[in-house]
Chain A
Amino acid sequence: MLKRIWTIFIRDLTVNMREFMTLYMIIIPLVLAVGINFLSPSINDTSVNLALIENENPEQAAYFDDFANVELFSDEQKVEDRVMSRDSVAGILPKDNGYYIMTQGNEPESVLEYAKLLNVLYEADVQLEDARSEIIEFGRTVPPLKKMLVNMLLLLISMLAGMLIAMNILEEKVDQTVSAINVTPTSRSAFILGKSLTGMAVALFSSIACLLITGFYNVNLGQAALVVFSSTILSLLIGFIQGLNSDDVMEAAGSVKLMFLPMAGSIAGYEFVTGNWQIFFYWSPFYWAYKANDMILSKSGTWPQLILFIGIILAICGAVYALLAPRIARKLQ
């Protein structure tokens, strides 16, 4: 039995490598991980953008530069042009007795409030050297946005793994080899396991590699692997049924789009929905996977919590499998 599963796995791996799909699925998450590294520092450093007139008051420009992103322009018209551009920029321009704030009129309130506050602090001559505050830091270097993007990437990897399974099954269907399994000594469960191993191996490899690339090398990789493994089981199950149900590539493409909905919804629910409303996302294993990943990336969870989350994911997967098993069996016949 194990030998047959292994044979199917090796055969799938060889075919996938030849068709670049597996390579894509390994390379794409790595490219995205590099992209996250590239984007997150500049996003984290985002502050309010201020436009000033160059050399009008260099001391003021230097002062604002300590608190905001300052852009200098040769005259008032150029500042006005910049303020009128599509992003949120406030101009701070001289008037008879001080400075006024020029806005486009559509900036978020927070941008305007920040610009007003800085102008007030400058007018009141509040200097950094006179600070009456002490800042104690916990030494965390990974901003929440980066953690969120990496967490999304981990879920995406398990989705891609599901797609790989779907494509593998579809290939068998197109080649009409699925029915041939029935006349071989290979059992259906061995076939299912064999077809799934490539996706799982790719998911595990890519997830660990992405964690290392994005700088999460000090998280518990064993815990992360467990979550990836459990969420891949669901993607795999959905991928398998998609592969069996789809008659052509268009149907598989449509199913993939449908699969993204619960994943995106679960992430949005976890991040944006507060308090008791989160209960509406408890049915989604992606919600629990995201929550478990968040705990691991934050290094804030315990093993019992993690085991509970994984247990919930596996229980939902088990329920889905129980629902789909007769269908899989029918389609394999």
Chain B
Amino acid sequence: MKLLSSFKKELILASRGFYFYVELIFALVILAVLLFAIPQNFSGTSTEYLYFNLPQEGKEIFKNIILEDDLDTKSEMVEIKAGGKTFNAELIVTDESEIYIVNSEEAVRMLAETHRNIGAVLELDDNNQLHYKYYLQGYESTRLKNLISILFNESTDVLKERIENQDVRPLSTGYEPLNDRENTIPPLVAFSGSLMGMFIMASYIFLDKKEGVIKAYAVTASSVWQYLMSKIFVVLLTSVVSGIIITMPVMGFSINYGLLLLLLLTTGFFASSLGLLIASFYNDLVKAFGVIYLILILMMVPSIAYFIPGWDPVWIKIIPSYPMLQGFKEIILPNGDIAYPLIASAGFLTAGIVLFAITNIRFKKTLSV
């Protein structure tokens, strides 16, 4: 009962403050960005510069092969500048790349160097065999360079046919990938909702420390844990509301909101308890700023792994935001794994309880800290 009345009081106080509304406005702005600025699928096109140092017939053959993939099967004559010079080029746009066919090797070299894209020259060697000369920037990985160097040892048609005939055996079926817009939801919900709770919780506590509220609690019938928990409830409420504001208009009713609510609450509880623990060591936000900031940055590192599927080192998996991101992703994935967010929620709840218990002991001992 005391906890409920403390929560009501905190909620009334929060609703009078500026921050409560900032959270909601922030969630609405993110939603607007998601709906209107982030396309469903990013056009991840690459740019390439090609020069066919071949007889006219050879040039036509290669150009026509590339033209088959052009979006409207027509090329366009354009001018591109590099190194103070203007080069004429024939532009072919495919699903995956913009290919500029130019008239000299110098053009390929200058364009590749100036615009930092890949360039290639096709020519015949002394044995009348095709020879490929690639212009790369230098920072490409050795493995990529290895692949590029042998890529055209076999004829493209043979490669295509063999690739299509490869025996691929998926262990699970019915998987539908998220589009780019949906794929950006987990980091936004995790960072804007759950993890910011740590920062906000610490800020709340520092404000109350300054105003002597924590000391005042020592002479009331209410216990410190109830006071701390009521604060956490306010942060959880804002994080749940902002999480749902971001998710619902994009995902509609196609996801399990019970699971989403569970993970939002448990991750928010964990982050808030962490914020409380940090706050128990410092007098004000300025002093705690360094620790909070470094933890927030550390928590952001798994988002790199989230967006780069091949980069997933073991050490990154022990950072709490990794299971947060993966948990939110599983929830919004069609046919996602239900067990993962449940296990993650149990983990965050347990960790949150432990952190909260330690914080409670610290606050009891050092009411004025």
Contact = CB atoms under 8 A, between A and B. Distances in A.
A117 B175 CA distance: 23
Contacts of B175: 105-106
Contacts of A46: 141, 308, 310-311
Contacts of A132: 125, 129-132, 152-153
Interface string B164-199: 001111111111010000000000000000001001
B257 to A, nearest CB: 22
Interface in B190-237: 196, 199-200, 203-204, 206-207, 210
A124 B160 CA distance: 13
Given A21-B286, A67-B143, A120 B162 contact: yes
A250 B201 CA distance: 10
B1 interface: no
B131 to A, nearest CB: 6
Nearest to A124: B154
Interface string A156-183: 0000000000010000000000000000
B254 interface: no
Contacts of A35: 297
A135 B120 CA distance: 9
Nearest to A105: B170
A140 B139 contact: yes
Contacts of A95: 167
Contacts of A298: 116
Contact of A107 (B145, B196, B287, B309): B309
B37 interface: yes
Contacts of B129: 132
B229 to A, nearest CB: 19
A44 interface: yes
Contacts of A273: 37
A121 B137 CA distance: 25
Contacts of A251: 17-19
Contact of A39 (B114, B287, B301): B301
Given A249-B285, A261-B26, A103 B170 contact: yes
Contact of A103 (B17, B131, B171): B171
A66 B146 contact: yes
A136 B136 contact: yes
B134 A250 contact: no
Given A103-B169, A265-B33, A133 B148 contact: yes
A54 interface: no
A307 interface: no
Contact of A116 (B150, B163, B207, B289): B163
A255 B273 CA distance: 23
Nearest to B147: A67
Contact of B163 (A44, A111, A117, A255): A117
Interface residues of B, number: 85
A112 interface: yes
Contacts of B145: 135
B284 interface: yes
Interface stretch (A1-9, A26-34, A198-206, A324-332): A26-34
Interface string A242-253: 000010111101
Specify which of B23, B131, B138 lies most central, judged by the most chain A CB atoms within 10 Å of its CB. Answer: B138
Contact of A258 (B26, B42, B162, B293): B26
A43 interface: yes
A87 B175 CA distance: 15
A4 B252 CA distance: 59
Interface string A19-53: 11100100110011001000100111111110000
A128 B141 contact: no
A256 to B, nearest CB: 9
A138 B152 contact: no
A196 to B, nearest CB: 18
B331 to A, nearest CB: 14
Contact of B310 (A69, A86, A119, A133): A69
Interface string B84-113: 000000000000000000000000010011
A21 B294 contact: no
Contacts of A68: 143
Given A19-B287, A24-B289, A251-B18, A100 B167 contact: yes
A112 B109 CA distance: 32
B304 interface: yes
B290 A20 contact: yes
A123 interface: yes
B152 A250 contact: no
Contact of B138 (A111, A138, A167, A258): A138
A116 B170 CA distance: 13
Contacts of A226: none
Contacts of A130: 150, 153
A257 B163 contact: no
Contacts of B174: 105
A148 B236 CA distance: 34
Given A101-B168, A119-B166, A131-B153, A249 B203 contact: yes
B171 A274 contact: no
B169 A100 contact: yes
A48 B167 CA distance: 18
A138 B135 contact: yes
A141 interface: yes
Nearest to B29: A261
Contacts of B168: 100-101, 103, 112, 116
Contact of B143 (A66, A120, A121, A135): A66
Contacts of B45: 274
24 contacts: A20-B286, A20-B287, A28-B293, A45-B143, A46-B141, A66-B143, A67-B143, A67-B147, A68-B143, A103-B171, A120-B162, A132-B131, A134-B133, A136-B135, A141-B139, A144-B116, A255-B22, A258-B25, A261-B26, A268-B37, A274-B43, A280-B37, A298-B116, A300-B114
The 4 closest A-B pairs by CB, nearest first: A87-B312, A105-B170, A254-B22, A24-B290
Interface of A: 19-21, 24, 27-28, 31-32, 35, 39, 42-49, 66-69, 80, 83-84, 86-88, 95, 98-108, 111-113, 116-121, 123-124, 126-128, 130-144, 167, 246, 248-251, 253-255, 257-258, 261, 265, 268-269, 272-274, 280, 298, 300
Given A28-B290, A257-B22, 9 more contacts: A20-B287, A27-B290, A88-B310, A120-B163, A123-B162, A124-B158, A135-B134, A138-B135, A253-B285
